[in-house]
Structure 1
Amino acid sequence: MKMLTLAATGAALASIGLSASAQAQSAQERLDTRYDRALAAGYKALFLCSGIANAERNGTARTPESIHAWELTGIQAPLDDIVRDMPYEIVRRPTGQVAHVQVEWAEDMPDRVAAYYGEDTGCSVLPIGAPEGVSNPELPIEIEAINKAGEDSAFPDGGKVKKRFSETIATAFSTDTYGEGVRSTAAVVLKDGKLIEQRYAEGFGPDTPQRTWSVAKSIAATFVGAAVQSGEFTVDDLVGLNYWRSGGSGDARNAITIDHALRMATGRYSDTPGNRTDPLYWGGTTVDERAANWPVIAKPGTVYRYANNDTLMAVKAVDSWLSFYPPHEFFEKLGMDHTVAETDIRGNYVLSSQVWSTARDLAKLGQLYLNDGMWNGERLLPENWREYVSDPSGPQPEGTQWGYGAGWWTFRRPDGNAFEGIPDDAFAARGNRGQYVVVVPSRNVVIVRRGEDMVGTRFDIAKFTRDVLAAID
Structure 2
Amino acid sequence: MKILKRILLLLLVFITIAVIYNYPKLNILAGYSAKNTASSVFVARRTLEFTDATDNNFSPVNLASDEIEVDKKAATSSVYSLLTRKAIIRKGLGSVLTLTEEDETASYLIPNRLKPDYRTPFPYGNGEQKDSVFSTINYKNLNIAIDSLFQEKNKTRAVLVVYKDQIIAEKYNRGFNKDSKILGWSMTKSLLSTVFGVMQHQGKLNIQDKAPIDSWQNDERKNITIHNLLQMNSGLEWDENYDEISDATKMLFLERDMTKMQENKPLVGKPNETFNYSSGTTNLLSGILRSQFKTHQEYLDFWYTDFIDKIGMNSMILEADLSGNYVASSYSWATTRDWAKFGLLYLKNGNWNGAHLLTKEWVKYVTTPTPTSKGIYGAQFWLNANGNFKDVPKNMYYADGYQGQRVYVLPDQEMVIVRFGLTNFDENEFLKGVLESIN
Q: Scaled by the length of structure 1, what TM-score is found?
A: 0.79
Q: What is the CA-CA distance between 1:23 and the residue it aligns to?
A: 4.1
Counterpart code for 2:332:
V
What residue is the counterpart of 1:444 in the other structure?
Answer: 414
> Which of 16, 19, 30 is equivalent to 1:41?
30
- Alignment match of 1:374 (pick from 351, 368, 384): 351
Q: Deviations over 1:223-259 (max 9, x none)?
A: 11111111011110222122254xxxx3122211111
In 2, the alpha carbon distance for the partners of 1:464 and 1:142 equals: 38
Letter in 2 for 1:89: E
**Offset at 1:276?**
4.7
Distance 1:102 1:231, change over 3 A: same
Stretches of 4+ moved more than 6 A in 1? Answer: 141-144, 146-151
Contact 1:99 1:136 in 2 (8 A): no
Find the counterpart in structure 1 of residue 249 from structure 2.
Answer: 278
Q: Whole-Å Cα distance in 2 between the matches of residues 411 and 147 of structure 1?
A: 34
Measured in 2, the distance between the counterparts of 1:382 and 1:350 equals 25
Given the alignment of the two structures, is residue 407 of structure 1 paired with residue 377 of structure 2, yes or no?
Answer: no
Q: Are 2:240 and 2:279, in contact at CA under 8 Å, matched by a contact in 1?
A: no
- The residue that corresponds to 1:69 in the other structure is 53
Identify the match of residue 266 of structure 1 among 210, 225, 234.
234
Output aligned runs, 1:101-116, within 5 Å: 101-105=75-79, 111-116=84-89
Aligned residue number for residue 396 of structure 2: 426
Q: Deviations over 1:188-220 (max 9, x none)?
A: 000011111110110111111222111111111
Per the alignment, residue 186 of structure 2 pairs with 214
Question: In structure 1, what is the Cα distance between the partners aligned to 2:19 and 2:219?
Answer: 37
Of 198, 205, 229, 2:201 maps to: 229
Partner of 1:53: 42
Shift in alpha-carbon separation, 1:376–1:272, aligned structure 2, 3 A: closer
- Please give the secondary structure, in 1, of the residue aligned with 2:395: coil
Q: Tell me the alpha carbon deviations over residues 163-204 of structure 1, each in whole angstroms, 9 at most, x when there is no partner.
A: 1111210111026xxxxx321100000001111111011011
Deviation at 1:279, TM superposition (A): 1.8
Where do residues 14-163 of structure 1 align in structure 2 (5 Å cutoff)?
20=11, 23-24=13-14, 27=17, 30-55=19-44, 61-74=45-58, 80-81=59-60, 83-93=61-71, 99-105=73-79, 111-118=84-91, 120-127=92-99, 130-131=100-101, 134-135=103-104, 152-153=126-127, 155-159=129-133, 162-163=139-140
SS at match of 1:300: coil
Does the aligned pair in 2 maintain the 1:235–1:257 contact within 8 Å?
yes
Structure 2: runs of 5 or more not aligned: none
Per the alignment, residue 361 of structure 1 pairs with 338
Q: Unaligned 5+ residue runs, structure 1? A: 1-10, 56-60, 75-79, 176-180
Asked if the contact 1:100–1:135 (Cα under 8 Å) also holds between the matched residues in 2, the reply is: no
Find the aligned partners of 2:97 and 2:118 in 1 and give their Cα distance: 27
The answer to which structure has the higher helix fraction is 2
- Structure 2 CA distance, aligned partners of 1:33 and 1:342? 28
- Between the aligned partners of 1:198 and 1:463, the Cα distance in structure 2 is 18
Whether 1:346 and 2:323 are equivalent positions in the alignment is yes
Residues 1:324 and 1:203: Cα distance change in structure 2 (over 3 Å): closer
3-state DSSP of counterpart to 2:199 = helix
Note closer, same or farther for the CA distance 1:440–1:64 as it changes in structure 2 (3 Å cut).
same
1:85, CA displacement in angstroms? 4.5
Is residue 241 from structure 1 mapped to residue 213 from structure 2 by the alignment?
Answer: yes
Select which of 323, 331, 337 maps to 2:314. Answer: 337
2:281 aligned residue? 310
1:5 aligned residue:
none
Deviation at 1:382, TM superposition (A): 2.2
1:192 aligns with 2:164: yes
Find the aligned partners of 1:14 and 1:233 in 2 and give their Cα distance. Answer: 65
CA distance in 1, matches of 2:401, 2:180: 17
Question: In the aligned structure 2, how far is the partner of 1:387 from the partner of 1:154?
Answer: 32
CA RMSD across the alignment: 3.1
Matched, 1:301 2:290: no
Indicate if the aligned counterparts of 1:327 and 1:341 stay in contact, CA closer than 8 A: no
Rounded to whole Å, the distance in 1 between the matches of 2:426 and 2:398 is 13
